[in-house]
Amino acid sequence: MPAWTTSDPVALHARTQPDRIACVDLASGRRWTYAALDEAIQRAVGVLETGHGIEPGQRIATLARNSADLAVLQQAAMRLGAIFVPLNWRLASAEKQAILADCDPVLLLHDTALEMAPPKGCMSIEVAAFTAAVEAQVPAPRRSLPASDAPSIILYTSGTSGRPKGVIVTERNALATAVNFGVLGRVGNASVFLCDAPMFHVIGLITSLRPPLLQGGTVLISPGFDAGVTNRRLADPALGVTHYFCVPQMARMLRDHPDFAPSNWTALTAIFTGGAPNPAANIHWWLAQGVRMVDGFGMTEAGTVLGMPIEADRIASKAGSAGLAAPTIGLRIVDDAGRDVATGELGEIWLSGPSITPGYWNRPEETARAFTADGWFRTGDIARQDEEGFVTLVDRRKDMFISGGENVYPSEIEMALLDHPDIAEAAVIGVADERWGEVGRAFVVPKPGRVLDPAGLASHCGARIARYKVPKEFLIAQALPRTASGKIQKHILRARMAPADGKA
């Protein structure tokens, strides 16, 4: 049986609705209709092929902030059969070099001066120069698209537990994510997505781009998140933003900004959140402002997995849940022996379906460990599912610790701490204890001008969770170490043998 070829929604809509606006680069004001975007992609194919000699399977890396030019480049690489590798430009030089050595690109695009030499055999070019070359290039002849199960993108994980891994994303994976989020998020031809999440992350590059482009909607690409600018854009009737995806920390910055005026977000369907825990109290607060905050769960390795309904009453009744499984997702919650647990019981999420990665770049052993013998992907996330199928995430399996013989999930403690009126952020890890084996150590960030008392924090937790779950230590921090996607880097917290800023 022949392999399925890659789908190409931009090329399709260039024929069905050529004059509809497909993409806007908000920094420069440039706009593309679907016909113009399709042609720009073919021009970029010509630059890659004739100007740089790029061949199928070779890697094209980027170190650049969001722009429509990156979207054009990725789509051109896809049509050519090359592999697009966007790097986190915030990383240290040594971290960038390690990733570049791992993916071994033949071309590196950057938007600022490089602080290190590109890998041997790798050409480098500024994004602006590439854009100018694309504008001057004749569109390349069309060719057959590559197989949909070939590597198309490599996304390096955020590194919450250490060295990043390159997750392979095929066009089949990306299309399934577009379908999954499109159904859960009610994406249609009139949808307008604002993308200011970084395009080296699955939220920015895939979840914020592929669903609207699949449906023939519009993508507004911003260089990056700025709370004031984003607030104004959400309220701008000329932009008409219908869908906005962010992590909870970004949503918190929106509401804390002086320009926060959700009553003016008249076109918005919902704010979609993921990437970090979102307390139920926070979701209820947003609902009270008239904004539907739709929580979900996804992974670089799986794209969109879970999502809440759009209806406000369902959001309110299930606040704290990550929602229902997306239409192409196969989901099981299993115990340590791989047996399905009963409704309401804790277990690890296993996944299957067309959005699931085929594995990790240059990591055959880790790829093998990530999958069961019959093909289920082990997420490492602990969750429970209620009788209606709604899934609530509890914690990462690796973050669990055992205190006095009892399993303790730090996320549950963190949720209790975030319910405290004086706490802005919280993270909990397990540390060795002579009596109990392990106990909790909480890192807490107070809200501005607030003072935290350890006895009061212990009492606050004790009223909400079992005594054995209450942390033994509460440590003050000015901020928590986070990845670019907002996830707390607990491996950094574990490396701190003493409090960074003092005890609460």
pLDDT at position 491, please? 80
10 Å Cβ neighbour count for 338? 15
Q: Is 407 or 229 the better-scoring residue by pLDDT?
A: 229
**Alpha-carbon distance values, 300 to 1, 15, 132, 215, 334 (Å):** 29, 31, 32, 22, 21
Residues 307-318 pLDDT 10s: 999 999 999 999
Query: At residue 172, what are phi and psi to the nearest 5 degrees?
Result: -65, -45
Q: What CA–CA distance (Å, rounded) separates 465 from 73?
A: 50
Is the pLDDT confidence value at 486 over 90? no
| DSSP single-letter state for residue 263 | G
* Residue carrying the six token digits 């440590």: 475
The domain spans of the chain are: 400-495
Cβ contacts of 342 within 8 Å, gap of 6 or more: none
**Do residues 468 and 437 lie in contact, with contact meaning Cβ atoms separated by under 8 Å?**
no
* Residue carrying the six token digits 């490599």: 154
| DSSP single-letter state for residue 26 | T
Average pLDDT rounded to a whole number, residues 196-220: 96
Q: Is 315 or 454 the better-scoring residue by pLDDT?
A: 315
Is the pLDDT confidence value at 397 over 80? no
Q: Does domain 400-495 have CATH number 3.30.300.30?
A: yes
pLDDT band for position 115 (50/70/90)?
confident
- For residue 469, count CB atoms less than 10 angstroms from its CB and return exposed for 0-12, middle for 13-18, buried for 19 or more: buried
Q: Is 113 or 434 the better-scoring residue by pLDDT?
A: 113
**Alpha-carbon distance values, 187 to 179, 270, 286, 323, 412 (Å):** 9, 11, 21, 17, 32
Residues 336-389 pLDDT 10s: 999 999 999 999 999 999 999 999 999 999 999 999 999 999 999 989 999 999
pLDDT at position 434, please? 80
Q: Is 214 or 158 the better-scoring residue by pLDDT?
A: 214
Instruction: Kindly tell me the sign of the dihedral angle through the C-alpha atoms of 240, 243, 248, 249.
Output: negative
Q: Which is nearest to 209 in space by CA: 223, 190, 226, 192?
A: 192
10 Å Cβ neighbour count for 117? 9
Is the pLDDT confidence value at 277 over 80? no
- For residue 185, count CB atoms less than 10 angstroms from its CB and return exposed for 0-12, middle for 13-18, buried for 19 or more: buried
Q: Is 407 or 224 the better-scoring residue by pLDDT?
A: 224
Query: At residue 377, what are phi and psi to the nearest 5 degrees?
Result: -90, 125
Average predicted confidence (pLDDT) for the chain: 92
pLDDT at position 306, please? 97
* Residues of the chain by 3-state class (helix, strand, coil), percent to 5: 30, 25, 40
Cβ contacts of 286 within 8 Å, gap of 6 or more: 251, 255, 271, 292, 293
Q: Is 398 or 83 the better-scoring residue by pLDDT?
A: 83
* Residue carrying the six token digits 């790029």: 54
Q: Which is nearest to 282 in space by CA: 307, 306, 263, 256?
A: 256
